Amino acid sequence: MMQGKVVLVTGGAKRVGAAIARLLHAAGANLMIHYRSSALDAREMQDELNAIREGSVALVQADLNDVAGLPALVQKTVETFGGLDVLVNNASSFYPTPIGSITLQDWDDLMGSNLRAPLFLSQAAAGELRKRRGTIVNIADIHADRPMKEYVVYSVAKAGVVGLTKSLARELGPEVRVNAVAPGPILWPDCDSNFDEPTCQRIVSHTILKTAGHPSDIARAVRFFIVDAPYVTGQVLAVDGGRSARL
């Protein structure tokens, strides 16, 4: 299905990123997995997947807020695997920023990881992706269209990701397709007191399917855009159990 394809996944060592990486690897892809601080998780995944197919997974560490270092991620991928077919912009920061408490550091961090990095990494990858008629898949959020209370900067950044997806589709077409997946309630955030048990139950109750999703749901949507949607670009697919239809 994806034999010989080369995929760079940002934030690919944990949570949804890890599910995406595992599914694409199972489909035959070679992976460059980016991580920032999750070195142990990244190495464990690399060992796990290379035991299945030797030499199929490599790692690259980087702080995506360092824009000057982003071209090196693409360069290392090409040097390791000979090219680049797919970029998955998955890495993200997420925490509340209610009005009255927002700092410039909050803005720089949340806009940096969620919007600036996908833009500049896509720009760095564009040449290689054009050579191989590649694909970019961005991870957006259903709250790009319906902002989450007290998450002002995050919601604005994800709205930017939706705009970026459509803009890049125009800029890079016809050679490169660009789409986005917008998750709903898939995994609850780590270390965020705003998501206690009653809150999580309330969010799930507002989905049409009355259940939380699984990281594999996002991974399958990413694979769909890469493998099964050759005539689709500039689109955003909500994977949210119908929550956005009820918000």
Q: What is the pairing mode between strands 6-9 and 86-89?
A: parallel
Asked if residue 22 lies in contact with residue 9, where contact means CB atoms within 8 angstroms, the answer is: no
Provide the H-helix boundaries in 53-116: 70-81, 104-111
State both tokens at 86: 């797919």
* Selected catalytic residue, list 95, 151, 154, 231: 154
Asked if residue 160 lies in contact with residue 217, where contact means CB atoms within 8 angstroms, the answer is: no
Torsion angles phi and psi, residue 245, rounded to 5: -75, -15
3-state secondary structure (DSSP) of residue 53: coil
154 is catalytic: yes
What are 12-17's contacts with CB under 8 Å, separation 24+? 12/42, 12/45, 12/88, 12/90, 13/38, 13/41, 13/42, 13/45, 14/38, 14/41, 15/187, 15/215, 16/90, 16/139, 16/183, 16/186, 16/187, 16/215, 16/218, 16/219, 17/88, 17/90, 17/91
CA distance 239 to 89: 16
* Cβ neighbours, 10 Å, residue 89: 30
Asked if residue 60 lies in contact with residue 77, where contact means CB atoms within 8 angstroms, the answer is: yes
CA distance 155 to 212: 20
Annotated catalytic sites, by residue? 154
